[in-house]
Amino acid sequence: MRAVVVDGPGVVRVAEVPEPAPAPDEVVVEVGACGICGTDVHIIDGEFPLATYPIIPGHELGGTVVAVGSEVSGFAVGDRVGVDPTLNCGACYYCQRGMGNLCERFRAVGVTNPGGFAERVAVPERTLYHLPEGMSFAAAALIEPVSCVVHGFHRLQAQPGETFLIYGAGPMGLQNAQIARFAGASLVAIVDINPGRLERARQEFGFETLGASLDEVREHAPRGFDNVIEATGVTKVAEMAIDAVKRRGKLLLFGVCPPGEKAAFDAFKIYNEEITILGSMAVLNSYGPALDVLAAGAVDADRMVTHTFSLEEFPQALETVRKGSGLKVQVAGR
Residue 289 lies in a domain: no
| 270 part of a folded domain | yes
Q: Cα angle vertex 68, ends 85, 30, to 5°?
A: 60
Q: What is the pLDDT of residues 69-114, one digit of tens each?
A: 999 999 999 999 999 999 999 999 999 999 999 999 999 999 999 9
Query: What does the pLDDT read at residue 253?
Result: 98
Rounded to whole angstroms, how far apart are CA atoms 224 and 218?
A: 7
Strand 328-332 relative to strand 26-35: parallel, antiparallel, unpaired? antiparallel
Give the model confidence (pLDDT) of 18-29 as tens digits.
999 999 999 999
- 59 inside domain: yes
Q: Are residues 18 and 117 in the same domain?
A: yes
Q: Is residue 291 part of a domain?
A: no
DSSP classification of residue 30: E
Q: pTM higher than 0.95, yes or no?
A: yes
DSSP 97: T
What is the CATH classification number for the domain harbouring 115?
A: 3.90.180.10
Domain extent for 312: 2-142+299-332
Residue of 71, 101, 74 whose CA lies nearest to 89: 101
Residues 228 and 96 reside in one and the same domain:
no
Same domain, 129 and 170: no
Which tens digit of pLDDT belongs to each residue from 139-161? Answer: 999 999 999 999 999 999 999 99
List pLDDT tens digits, range 180-215.
Answer: 999 999 999 999 999 999 999 999 999 999 999 999
Which pLDDT band holds residue 334 (cuts at 50, 70, 90)? low
pLDDT band at 325 (very low <50, low <70, confident <90, very high): confident
How many domains does the chain divide into? Answer: 2
Kindly state the helix (H) or strand (E) to which residue 38 belongs, with its residue range: helix 38-45
Tell me how far apart the alpha carbons of residues 264 and 236 are, in angstroms, rounded to a whole number: 9
Give pLDDT tens digits for 206-261: 999 999 999 999 999 999 999 999 999 999 999 999 999 999 999 999 999 988 99
